[in-house]
């Protein structure tokens, strides 16, 4: 079973950073609860299919952008926290924080907060 740090890395890189749909769907299945709830400033989506569609939409809107972790990853019991940047490689233009609640070894809820830097 992956630990929270591994789940947070998978959320950022293997799901939201993965442009290959088949690999992304496989990562979703091993990273999130089936009823996962994802919340960002634009919307709340529930379930694997909706999360996959959300990730695809983000990637489609920024075809030359990549995600990168920024700063340390923090874990507190069932909570994970990871800051990230999104933009051209080495020059992110969007910054955010993901906060995940883990239940039974998989992410049950993920909150994305956009921040200005």
Query: Which tens digit of pLDDT belongs to each residue from 48-81?
Result: 999 999 999 999 999 999 999 999 999 999 999 9
pLDDT digit string, tens, across residues 3-54:
999 999 999 999 999 999 999 999 999 999 999 999 999 999 999 999 999 9
Q: Domains (ranges, CATH) in the chain? A: 4-115 (3.10.450.50)
Sheet holding 44-46, edge to edge: 44-46, 32-39, 106-115, 94-103, 79-87, 66-76
For residues 27 and 18, give the distance between their C-alpha atoms in angstroms, rounded to a whole number. 9
pTM here is 0.95
């Amino acid at each position: 079973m992956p630990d929270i740090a591994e789940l947070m890395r998978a959320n950022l890189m293997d799901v939201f950073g993965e442009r290959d749909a088949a690999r992304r769907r496989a990562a979703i299945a091993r990273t999130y609860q089936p009823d996962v709830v994802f919340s960002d400033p634009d919307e709340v989506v529930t379930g694997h299919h909706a999360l996959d569609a959300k990730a695809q939409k983000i990637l489609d809107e920024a075809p030359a952008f990549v995600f990168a972790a920024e700063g340390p990853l923090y874990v507190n019991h069932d909570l994970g926290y990871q800051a990230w940047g999104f933009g051209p490689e080495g020059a992110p233009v969007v910054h955010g924080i993901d906060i995940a609640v883990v239940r039974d070894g998989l992410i049950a809820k993920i909150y994305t907060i956009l921040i200005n830097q």
